[in-house]
Amino acid sequence: MPSSTSQTPNTEVDELVAVSTPQRPIWQRLIGFNLVTAVVLAIVGWLIGYWIGGRIHAPSLDFFADNGQNDISILLGYLLGVIGFMIGMGFANYPIRRMLGHPPTLAEHESEGEGLARYFRLCTDHKVVGLQYVVGIGFFFFIGGLNAMFIRTELLNPNNHAFGPNQYLTLVGLHGTMMMGMMTSVILGPFANWLVPLMIGCRRMAFPRIEAFTFWLLMAAGIVLLTTLFFGGFQTGWTGYQPLGGQGTAGYDAYIGFFALVGLSMCLLGLNLLVTIITMRAPGMTWSRLPIFVWSVLATATLMLLASPMLLAALLMGAFDRAVQTGFYVPGIGGSAYLWQNLFWVFGHPEVYIVALPGFGIVLELLPVFTRKPLWGYRLAVAGMLGVTLLSFFVWQHHLFVSGINADLRPFYMLSTELISLPTGFIFLCAMGTIWRGRIRFTVPMLFCLAWVFNFLIGGISGVFLSDVPSDVTTHGSFFSMAHFHYTIMGGLVFTLFAAIYYWGPKMTGFKFNERLAKIHFWSLFIAFNSTFGPLFALGLMGMPRRVVTYPTNLQALNDWVSVSAYVIGLSMLVFLVNLVWSQLFVREPAEANPWNSKSAEWQLPTPVPVHDFDRIPVFDGDPYPYGVPQVTAPVVAPAGGTA
């Protein structure tokens, strides 16, 4: 991680900080607005909220409170706890200062604190936020992955249960919820925040405080979700279907709290990125010169901004149903069982494209570098991404084909869902055109991108099966659909995530990764991944529904194969962790400024990138992928500061 001593002081801020302060005792350094204060205030907030909830009395509410399930207390506790957390982090400081009449200012957060301390407080340097995101989401990613290992352990035997049925369902729900909540931001949070300003030539995001806010909100959300265990877990899976969610233990309140916070975080993250890309591009960075990764971020940010509010609305009604016995989702008292399904999937379908689109951007961004050719079909690729964005709002009822929706709707949604494979296909065509007659180098990031092609191909084609109503009748709700979305989400997003980590990681941290361990990680992950999820297609077609603890004994051999393969995935992730700790914390071999010989803007900066990013705002001229024209080494014209 960049330490403050290696930066060349270039602005007043850096000069102020460069005056070294004597080391204060650690207890004194802990006072202030940072993670410690935030946790303390979070606990205080929880206790206050819980206490207030206990003071609210009414006959039916008391009945549930007596059953050990005071949902109002829990929900209020979460609300005030998160507010306490954010106040402790220091997010209330600026609004209060402004209300007291102080002038607007920003610089005080970007570089204060010594190296590591910046990462545990409110820091408005977009590069710090990017790295915070990587570690923060990574932590929850591994917890979600651990849950997956538990799930596969349970499914080893249909009659010997490793966990009780309640615990198993909570594990299933935690795995899905943790992943879908956290991994939707895993490219935009870490990489878009870190890269977009550098790629479009500005020094910071449009709303740096909001940028930091989205990160800490996501962390608070993750902790909220983990507390579900103390309240009995939740038995609805990540889709949280009502009216099932309305009954059952109070762990569902943690689910509500988590997704509400995640939804808010996503909404603001999308807003920030959208405004930054639209308004803060450097001179010469026209729309047709925008790197394709930035286009994918733009498309994803649009989806994040527009889809999250639907989720918040659905969750709010769910919270009311649980806490104060309203009947939004209960048919017997005037509600509808369809309401949740529809609201959730209006969010849920754009959500899965939020997960898929950044992967498209990363693959198309990296292929030119490792084939030494410009991106083929740039406009087609952009059209593809925007087409996916637009169409993703019109397909959600394919999750409800056999639910008894109005039968006239099904042909329309079948058509729209099949159509969405068209813009997705453009991405494949552009990838194919880029590698054709290129000079392909098989670096680790390239390997992950190629794996994406294979995985997403399978995932996409299985999606065509699922979008076809007659085929969907058997495969809906079965392991076939599980295999489909794991191929697209895990085979798509997670593989491109690792491509991004190995590609941009050395630039972000300043240290190289061990290449041999990285290759072991790649091959073991790729093979184990296909070995795990390929057979699931067969299991689904053979009649195994989702989220079950038991199955016919003739399916046991296949399930055991899948479980063992899943353990190998876990081991490959351990290889990655070992590589991460070993190369970043111990070996610490400094990375070159441009190890991949990329001609993209962010690689023209020194490693590590200074706090202020550019000495002077660059002026862009020409194609973002000037490969094949040897005299052009970068798309920028004016010096961008530092030496390549």
Binding flag, residue 530, another protein (CB under 8 A): no
* Rounded (10°) CA dihedral 184, 185, 186, 189: 170
Binding flag, residue 371, another protein (CB under 8 A): yes
Task: Show contacts with another protein in window 430-459 (CB under 8 A).
Answer: 432-433, 435-442, 450, 453-454, 457-458
Whether residue 315 contacts residue 263, with contact meaning beta carbons closer than 8 Å, is answered with: yes
Report phi then psi at 202, rounded to 5.
-125, 170
Instruction: Round to whole Å and give the CA distance between 443 and 279.
Output: 35
SS3 of 546-569: the string is: CCCCCCCHHHHHHHHHHHHHHHHH
Instruction: Figure out which of the listed residues 125, 472, 602, 613 binds another protein, where binding follows CB under 8 A.
Output: 472
CB of 239 to another protein, least distance (A): 8
At 445, list the tokens.
């990031």
Binding flag, residue 232, another protein (CB under 8 A): yes
Instruction: Round to whole Å and give the CA distance between 200 and 620.
Output: 9
Binding flag, residue 516, another protein (CB under 8 A): no
Cβ within 8 Å of residue 233, ≥6 positions away: 166, 167, 169, 170, 173, 174, 249, 251
The sign of the torsion formed by the CA atoms of 576, 578, 584, 588 equals negative
At 308, list the tokens.
């999250």
What is the DSSP code (8-state) at residue 543? T
Binding flag, residue 376, another protein (CB under 8 A): yes
- Total of chain residues touching another protein, rule CB under 8 A: 122
Instruction: Figure out which of the listed residues 41, 169, 323, 555 binds another protein, where binding follows CB under 8 A.
Output: 169
Instruction: Figure out which of the listed residues 313, 386, 419, 527 binds another protein, where binding follows CB under 8 A.
Output: 419
User: Which range touches another protein (CB under 8 A), out of 23-31, 178-186, 192-200, 620-628?
Assistant: 620-628
CB of 91 to another protein, least distance (A): 27
Instruction: Figure out which of the listed residues 36, 52, 309, 418 binds another protein, where binding follows CB under 8 A.
Output: 418
Binding flag, residue 153, another protein (CB under 8 A): no
Binding flag, residue 519, another protein (CB under 8 A): no
Binding flag, residue 246, another protein (CB under 8 A): yes
Between 513 and 627, name the residue whose CB sits nearer to another protein: 627
Instruction: Round to whole Å and give the CA distance between 33 and 49.
Output: 22
Binding flag, residue 156, another protein (CB under 8 A): no
Task: Show contacts with another protein in window 339-368 (CB under 8 A).
Answer: 341
Whether residue 642 contacts residue 613, with contact meaning beta carbons closer than 8 Å, is answered with: no
At 100, list the tokens.
């007291």
Single-letter code of the amino acid located at 443 = T
Task: Show contacts with another protein in window 290-329 (CB under 8 A).
Answer: 325
Q: Nearest Cα to 179, choosing from 472, 433, 606, 488?
A: 488
Residue 208: CA count within 13 A, CB half-sphere: 23
Task: Show contacts with another protein in window 97-116 (CB under 8 A).
Answer: none
Task: Show contacts with another protein in window 40-59 (CB under 8 A).
Answer: none
User: Which range touches another protein (CB under 8 A), out of 27-35, 120-128, 189-197, 624-632?
Assistant: 624-632
CB of 575 to another protein, least distance (A): 15
Task: Show contacts with another protein in window 534-593 (CB under 8 A).
Answer: 541-543, 545-552, 581, 585-586
At 203, list the tokens.
């020094």
Instruction: Round to whole Å and give the CA distance between 633 and 123.
Output: 33
User: Which range touches another protein (CB under 8 A), out of 193-201, 343-351, 428-436, 523-531?
Assistant: 428-436
Between 500 and 539, name the residue whose CB sits nearer to another protein: 539
Query: Of all helices (H) and strands (E), which one includes residue 457?
Result: helix 444-467
Between 399 and 612, name the residue whose CB sits nearer to another protein: 399
Instruction: Figure out which of the listed residues 421, 514, 530, 531 binds another protein, where binding follows CB under 8 A.
Output: 421
Q: Is 585 exposed, middle or buried (0-12, 13-18, 19+ CB in 10 A)?
A: exposed
CA Rg value for the chain = 25
CB of 609 to another protein, least distance (A): 23
Instruction: Figure out which of the listed residues 4, 7, 11, 249 binds another protein, where binding follows CB under 8 A.
Output: 249
Binding flag, residue 602, another protein (CB under 8 A): no
CB of 169 to another protein, least distance (A): 6
Between 48 and 547, name the residue whose CB sits nearer to another protein: 547
CB of 303 to another protein, least distance (A): 22
Binding flag, residue 597, another protein (CB under 8 A): yes
Binding flag, residue 331, another protein (CB under 8 A): yes
Instruction: Figure out which of the listed residues 256, 271, 292, 375 binds another protein, where binding follows CB under 8 A.
Output: 375
Binding flag, residue 394, another protein (CB under 8 A): no
Between 628 and 639, name the residue whose CB sits nearer to another protein: 628
CA angle 69, 75, 76 (to 5 degrees): 115
Q: What stretches of 227-336 show up as alpha helix (H) in DSSP? A: 251-279, 292-324
* Rounded (10°) CA dihedral 464, 468, 471, 473: 130
Which residue shows structure tokens 């195994």? 544
CB of 3 to another protein, least distance (A): 12
CB of 78 to another protein, least distance (A): 19
Cis peptide before 608 (omega within 30 of 0): yes
Instruction: Figure out which of the listed residues 112, 114, 468, 592 binds another protein, where binding follows CB under 8 A.
Output: 468
Instruction: Figure out which of the listed residues 51, 230, 287, 523 binds another protein, where binding follows CB under 8 A.
Output: 230
Binding flag, residue 8, another protein (CB under 8 A): no
Between 113 and 433, name the residue whose CB sits nearer to another protein: 433
Instruction: Round to whole Å and give the CA distance between 575 and 338.
Output: 44
Instruction: Round to whole Å and give the CA distance between 352 and 370.
Output: 28
Cβ within 8 Å of residue 213, ≥6 positions away: 86, 91, 268
CB of 211 to another protein, least distance (A): 27
Task: Show contacts with another protein in window 274-293 (CB under 8 A).
Answer: none
Q: Nearest Cα to 576, choosing from 141, 132, 182, 188?
A: 141
Between 236 and 532, name the residue whose CB sits nearer to another protein: 236
At 199, list the tokens.
């790629």
Instruction: Figure out which of the listed residues 107, 405, 575, 593 binds another protein, where binding follows CB under 8 A.
Output: 405
